Amino acid sequence: MNHLTPAIVTQRAAQRLPRMALLLFCAAYVLPGLFGRDPWRSADVTAFGFMHSLTRGDTDLWHPVVGGVPPEVGLFPYWLGAGFIELFDGLLAPAPAARIPFALLLVAVLMLTWYTSYHLARSEAAQPVAFAFGGEAHPVDYARAIADGALLALVATLGLLQLGHETTPELLQLTGVALFTYGLAASHHRGIQARLAMLAALPLMAGSGAPSVAVVLGAVGLAICLRSEFEQTRRFTFWVGGSLLIAVLTATAFDAWLWRVSTPSIRQVTRLLAWFTWPAWPLVAWTLWRWRGHLLKRHIAVPLFTALPMVVACVLMNGSDRTLLLALPSMAVLAAFSLPTLRRGVASAVDWFSVFFFSICALALWVIYASMQLGVPAKPAANIQKLAPGFEPHFSLLALTAAALGTLAWVWLVRWRAGRNREALWRSLVLPASGVALCWLLLMTLGLPVLDYARSDRPLLEKLSRHLPPAACIAARDLPRHQIAGLEALGGYRVYEEGVAPATRCEFLLTQGRRARATPDGWHFVARERRPTDRSEFTYVYRRSPASR
């Protein structure tokens, strides 16, 4: 009932974030890192390896392989990346071409989170208190302000920063969760859009490696719809059930039913939850406390019971960050509903913490960049050479310009936030979200060369190429999957895990270990190489003995 709502919001506080500023902000978050780098270890380059195997024509659509071994998850992500590699063939290199659809998926997740919050905030139970003499927030303006806050809360979460910019199946799963939550939220307002979103959501998750989570979400959706007080939402049960049925059929067709349950470590899971979902989780806790009388209302129940299965699955999988990633959109929606009840002192504390923390991070990145380019101060550059021996910095005017503009925008935003707009509902999330976007921009401009050198397998491939002829056939023993994918997709070699039939005909053998190994029978030792940033793991190169060929 509306008179029990804890939200007290004036019309002035319900002002929305300027649309152009919001679009530029999202662009500054999504675009950095899209171009100018290799796929990174380990899941990123592994997924790219499967996409590459589809485009080189060695297999059909149903059998992408890395090292002769098929993937464990559904095929949708690899079809998507391979399709864009073919689409931009001759215009873009394969790696950035494969990233384009995943960047669009990240945009879709941000948009769906905004619209989910908007529709939930328009429900009657979520509306703020009506004042005796008027002046309370207009329902539409209030919903837009809440939606702006949800989008900012999602961008501010640390867990989305790296995983949201990879070409991995988890981004399709995240899109499926966002579609599912949007479908439930919009079922009372947007009939056709909500139905299409729901029909796509669960099959997308099932075909991307999360069929069990899709089934649990489907059950949650059925329960929410059946218990709804709105007839239109109860009729939406049919569409949830249809999506669940298609998801089960999709997972069965892909043979994607896998269980990865392991004994959880409470300490590890707690630590992951604390930093991965920051700063959303304190706001979520505050929402659940202040709105505790509304836990079964749509605006709380939909995001709460969508996020809970992901958190439980993360615990059962001993702190899987890629599973916890799927809870972030729903947690951002819950965090946004804390904003109407957040005290001014708390908001100010968040602002000051954000200003100091992200300003120090930005300053540190600029100092390191100046050291690499100018040699002043000298110590950061010396530390980088110690950690990444062989790295050669290079100058990019475009990167420097983007970093400078982003830093100036941060300075302006801090002054703007301190000087005015103290009443906007979303005010306490502007600086955390902008600080995360700034640090990501600086990392992907000023710090990208050294990051790419440290996290790509290309430096190791350049060393191995001294001992391996082009397009050599390589048998892999105890090599991680991501290194095999790098050898195939970035090095152009034909690699087969030991035990796969073609491996018996390969002239070269690669194995990895921390200690010197005895030369395998039938092979002779050629070389030992390691990644410049890895002190302990060595890759050993062997060539088949003439007598055993």
Report the number of distinct structural domains present in the chain: 3
517 and 437 fall within a common domain: no
Q: What are the φ/ψ torsions at residue 515 (nearest 5 degrees)?
A: -120, 165
| Inter-helix orientation angle 139-156/94-121, to 10° | 140
The rounded distance, in Å, linking the Cα atoms of 431 and 413 is 8
Q: 532 and 441 share a domain?
A: no
Structural domain contains residue 310: no
pLDDT digits (tens, 9 = 90+) for 378-433: 999 999 999 899 899 989 999 999 999 999 999 998 888 776 656 788 888 999 99
Domain-embedded: residue 43? no
DSSP state of 136: B
**pTM score, two decimals?**
0.94
Residues 268-320 have pLDDT tens digits of: 888 999 999 999 999 999 999 999 888 888 999 999 999 999 999 998 888 88
On whether both 374 and 417 belong to a single domain, the answer is: yes
For residues 445 and 483, membership in a common domain is answered with: no
State the virtual CA torsion across 50, 51, 52, 55 in degrees, nearest 10.
Answer: 130
| In-domain check, residue 337 | no
Q: Report yes or no on 288 lying in a domain.
A: no
Whether 298 is in a domain gets the answer no
Q: Say whether both 198 and 231 belong to one domain.
A: yes
* More confident call, 481 vs 191: 481
Q: Are 440 and 161 in contact (CB under 8 A)?
A: yes
For 502-536, the pLDDT digits (tens) are 888 899 999 988 777 788 888 999 999 998 888 88
Name the residue among 48, 26, 29, 25 with its Cα closest to residue 37: 48
- The domain boundary residue, chosen from 406, 421, 453: 453
Quote the percentage of the chain above a pLDDT of 90: 65
96/240 same-domain check: yes
3-state DSSP of 322-385: HHHHHHHHHHHHHHHCCHHHCCHHHHHHHHHHHHHHHHHHHHHHHHHHHHHHHCCCHHHHHHHH
Can you tell me the distance from the alpha carbon of 271 to that of 319, in angstroms, rounded to the nearest whole number?
Answer: 9
pLDDT in tens, 163-189: 999 999 999 999 999 999 999 999 887
Distance CA 429, CA 530 (A): 43
> Is the model's pLDDT at 2 over the cut of 60?
no
Whether 417 is covered by a domain: the verdict is: yes
Does residue 377 share a domain with residue 472? no
Look up residue 386 and give its two tokens. Answer: 């110690």
Do residue 511 and residue 466 come from a single domain?
yes
For the segment 27-51, the average pLDDT, to the nearest whole number, is 93
Per residue in 107-147, pLDDT tens? 999 999 999 999 999 988 888 887 766 777 888 999 999 99
Do 438 and 486 lie in one domain? The reply is: no
Lowest mean pLDDT of 228-232, 245-249, 352-356, 395-399, name the range.
Answer: 228-232
HEC-encoded secondary structure of 425-466 = CCHHHHHHHHHHHHHHHHHCCCCHHHHHHHHCCHHHHHHHCC
**Would residue 292 count as lying in a domain?**
no
Q: What's the confidence (pLDDT) of residue 3?
A: 44
Instruction: Taking the CA atoms of 389, 395, 401 and 402 in sequence, report the sign of the dihedral they define.
Output: negative
Lowest mean pLDDT among 55-64, 89-98, 105-114, 235-244: 55-64
40-44, 71-75, 288-292: least confidently modelled range: 71-75
Q: Check whether residue 171 and residue 114 sit in a common domain.
A: yes
Enclosing H/E stretch for 28: helix 19-30
Helix, strand or coil for residue 258?
coil
Average pLDDT for the chain: 90
Backbone dihedral angles phi then psi of residue 444, each to the nearest 5 degrees: -85, 0
Choose the final residue of a domain: 236, 258, 280. Answer: 258
Does position 106 have pLDDT exceeding 50, yes or no? yes
Tell me if residue 296 falls in helix, strand or coil: coil
Q: Residue 168: which domain range?
A: 2-32+72-258
Q: Are residues 134 and 210 in the same domain?
A: yes
Q: Are strands 473-477 and 494-497 parallel, antiparallel or unpaired?
A: parallel
The neighbour count for residue 532, using CB atoms within 10 Å, is 17
pLDDT at 347: 78
Determine, yes or no, domain membership for 388.
yes
Range with the lowest mean pLDDT among 195-199, 327-331, 417-421? 417-421
Domain shared by 159 and 25, yes or no: yes
Share of the chain above pLDDT 70, in %: 97
